[in-house]
Chain A
Amino acid sequence: MVVVFSLFDADRLPNLARRSGISPTNTMNKEARLKASINQKLTETGERDRLKELLRAKLTECGWKDQMKAQCKDVIKQKGLEHVTVEDLVVEVTPKGRALVPDSVKKELLQRIRAFLTQHAS
């Protein structure tokens, strides 16, 4: 048996297990390994950073950022200016953020990821 935990990010493993719903078996190990390798590839080639920048730029351009800031304002006004924490904001705002991403941006990003994976994983 190969211990591959060291290759994963610490938080990925529990996510994977929860999502796939299977017990830690070889399958999961393979999957995990795969995921890890993909992540590594992304980081090594710099694609992850490029994708991050691209996403940020697109979201700002389409107004998503301003919408999100408005949401944050609501949270702050609700919680009080002095006592708002990062956790408050994250918990309140992230789901809305995920939902508010425009379809065009989402499609473009998925396309780029797919292109990268098919190019590098074969």
Chain B
Amino acid sequence: MKMEEKPLSGPDNTRLEALIQDVYSELVEDACLGLCFEVHRAVKQGYFFLDETDQDSIKEFEIVDQPGVDIFGQVFNQWKNKECECPNCKRLIAASRFAPHLEKCLGMGRNSSRIANRRLATNNNISKSESDQEDNDDLNDNDWSYGAEKKAKKRRPDKNQNSPRRSKSLKHKNGELGTSLSSDPYKQYNYNAGISYESLGPNEIRSLLTTQCGVISEHTKRMCTRSHRCPQHTDDQRRAIRLFLLGPSVPTLPDADVEGDSFDIPNGQALLSRLQWEDFPDVSPTDSASSKASTNHSDSKRPKKKKRLDLSLNSGGGGVNMTGVSSSSCQSNISLSTKKKKPKTAAPSVSSIYDELN
């Protein structure tokens, strides 16, 4: 069939438009007719008014069209500002922070064990056994790397850096809840790569060293928080650290089957005075001729008086308790009380103790 071309070119645009309008109105009428047929059939078959049978439920579930409310009539952030009372600590916690708080408060969950471990490292009133388990746990943990440990930031007294929502919660909780509630209990959560030994008391150092590797890193001047089996450091390093930090009555490493040795006390005072912080680099961890466990053998008279004699002094003080672990606590009690930054005063105290023993 031959197609007419002329009517659709330029001057016949009106005709084209008319044609288009025709086609369009045809389509619309088709749609209307279809609808009428549908409705009519529904009426005749009796299902046209089916959705209007129950007026009560219609009113109940009517679409809501108010501002601030969704179509069901529910408020969007209704629970955002609600506070819940923690069943454990009886504090009021914001609803969105309730779950993480409960995790820490009850001591369950991954983060809480890590935080607790850190806290143990800086507090000295928590039992050692608990922290021993935690240490192994952390060592086996895949997403902990020693490098990350070392590079961790300074101590943050407010919140745990592990928390996934740390930045968000800090942003939102500037005024009310964040500072007041979280600063106090979490102040002790120091997330450090290691511990900075300068700020620790002797008791803390002692407890730390019995559970942790404790070797001080050259870069950050911090103690390694890994366990005694930490692969980064040797036992000699650990021994040296203990010597360095705890002075003459250096505790033996916990896996030691200890003492009972010769008892050389002679120059306790002089030696102690020589044991300055600055001397530390001089002490090489290489005098490991003796087994790592025993530190108090008859080698005590070797030229390296600094180290050996101190250890023997240690054993003297440790005569009271013979087991490795508890001896450390006893000894460090004796020696560390004043040892930390005032070697001079340490000397008299140690000598006085030995006076008693003698």
Q: How many A-B Cβ pairs are below 8 Å?
A: 93
For the complex formed, measure the closest distance between the CB of B252 and the CB atoms of chain A, giving whole angstroms: 82
Which chain A positions have C-beta within 8 A of B15?
Answer: 31
- Main SS class of interface, B: helix
Evaluate contact between B23 and A121: CB separation under 8 angstroms: no
Is B35's CB within 8 Å of the partner chain A?
yes
Which chain A positions have C-beta within 8 A of B24?
Answer: 106, 109-110, 113
Q: How many residues of B contact A (CB 8 A)?
A: 31
For the complex formed, measure the closest distance between the CB of B18 and the CB atoms of chain A, giving whole angstroms: 9
Task: Give Cα distance in the complex from A94 to B29, angstroms.
Answer: 7
Evaluate contact between A34 and B39: CB separation under 8 angstroms: no
Is B33's CB within 8 Å of the partner chain A?
yes
> Which of the segments B1-9, B237-245, B291-299, B329-337 contacts the partner chain?
B1-9
**Interface members, chain B 199-221 (any A CB < 8 Å):** none
Evaluate contact between A90 and B20: CB separation under 8 angstroms: no
Are A52 and B37 also in contact (CB < 8 A) when A38-B19, A38-B23 are? no
Task: Give Cα distance in the complex from A113 to B18, angstroms.
Answer: 11
With most chain A CB atoms within 10 A of its CB, the pick from B4, B9, B21 is: B4
Evaluate contact between A86 and B40: CB separation under 8 angstroms: yes
Task: Give Cα distance in the complex from A113 to B51, angstroms.
Answer: 37
Which chain B positions have C-beta within 8 A of A117?
Answer: 8, 16, 19-20, 23
Is A76's CB within 8 Å of the partner chain B?
yes
Task: Give Cα distance in the complex from A48 to B23, angstroms.
Answer: 9
Evaluate contact between B25 and A30: CB separation under 8 angstroms: no
Evaluate contact between B30 and A52: CB separation under 8 angstroms: yes
Is B106's CB within 8 Å of the partner chain A?
no
Top 4 A-B pairs ranked by shortest CB distance?
A97-B32, A89-B36, A72-B39, A94-B32
11 more A-B contacts (CB under 8 A) besides A7-B1, A113-B24, A121-B3?
A: A33-B4, A35-B22, A52-B31, A76-B43, A94-B33, A94-B36, A106-B24, A109-B27, A117-B16, A118-B8, A118-B16
A residues near B (Cβ < 8 Å) are 7, 30-31, 33-35, 37-38, 40, 42, 48, 51-52, 55-56, 59, 65, 68-69, 72, 76, 81, 84-86, 89-90, 93-94, 97-98, 101, 106, 109-110, 113-114, 117-118, 121-122
